[in-house]
Amino acid sequence: MQRTQRTERGEHGGRRGRAVGKAEAQGERVAQRDEFEWLARGGLVARGVVYGIIGVLAVKLALGDGGKATNQQGALQTIANQSFGKILLILMAIGLAGYAIWRLVRAAIGHGPEDSDDTKDRVAGAASGLAYAALCFTAIKILAGSGGGGGASSHPDKTTAGVLGWPGGQVIVGIAGLILIGVAFDQARKGYKKKFLEQSKTEEMDQRMRKTFTWAGVAGHVARAVVFALIGYFLVRAAIDYDPDKAVGLDGALATLGQSSYGPIVLGIVAAGLVCFATFSVLDARYRRV
């Protein structure tokens, strides 16, 4: 009887191992295709467009020129409202899907055709891939005419309220906030120490391009660190006070900056940093080791 159970477990483990092996082999084949590289680079451009819209609107808000604090979903809705918005949004959806696939495949196999990832990079890549897959889904919903600005992801207080209602929900929300604060510190470290250059083909840049790329990367990563830290802080506050209304998203973080002491100046600096991150992302599409 025990031998039969061990045999069954061995067969089950063998089937699972073969399934994992096939999945990894398929991932390897995908990663080596030219289309994979184009998906990655198109995705980086799409990320840059999203952050560029968010940053420009926030700069206009800081200057009192009719802008607004918005998030990624709001940026997609802004695109949809433009002339030829449907075509542009289709291109954005393709780019966002490409970015998500790139990050998820890299997370699964640990490398691309030009670079490899450590464990921390793979975990971060998986989280980023899932987030951009959700953003791609939002773009598709907008294209389908079902909106996209009213989902839970657009209203973090609703999402937080749902999680707080779970057993251990306060702990989960608090941990999520601490993780975001950790991500903020990592973004600040990448910016301050210029770690992002390690993933770029700096040897293919001339002196002017390297200087532009470096400063855009520094400013962009630091600006994202500020925003992520604020989002994480308010999640922790929501968990401690058991108050989902205290949770904010990217748009709420920018609005908070605008309402602080010297608000327009602080908001303007961070918003300019987000525009820099958009510039960095577009340049990264050319020079990133995928």
Q: What are phi and psi of 166, to 5 degrees?
A: -75, 160
| C-alpha 116, offset from chain centre | 19
What are the percentages of helix, strand and coil residues in the chain, rounded to 5? Answer: 80, 0, 20
Backbone angles phi, psi at 116, to 5 degrees: -125, 165
- Choose among 82, 74, 109, 37: nearest CA to 249: 74
pLDDT 10s digits, 22-80: 555 555 665 566 788 898 999 999 999 999 999 999 999 999 998 999 999 999 999 99
Q: Are 290 and 60 within 8 A, CB to CB? A: no
Crossing angle of helices 250-258 and 263-287, in 10° steps, is: 140
pLDDT at residue 152, rounded to an integer: 45
Q: What is the mean pLDDT of residues 161-174?
A: 92
| Verdict on whether the full-model pTM lies above 0.95 | no
Structure tokens at 86: 């449907």
Query: 242 Cβ partners below 8 Å, 6+ apart?
Result: 164, 170
Residue 8 has pLDDT above 60, yes or no: no
Does the structure show a pLDDT above 60 at 154? no
What percent of the chain shows pLDDT beyond 90?
70
Is residue 83 within 8 Å of 77, Cβ to Cβ? no
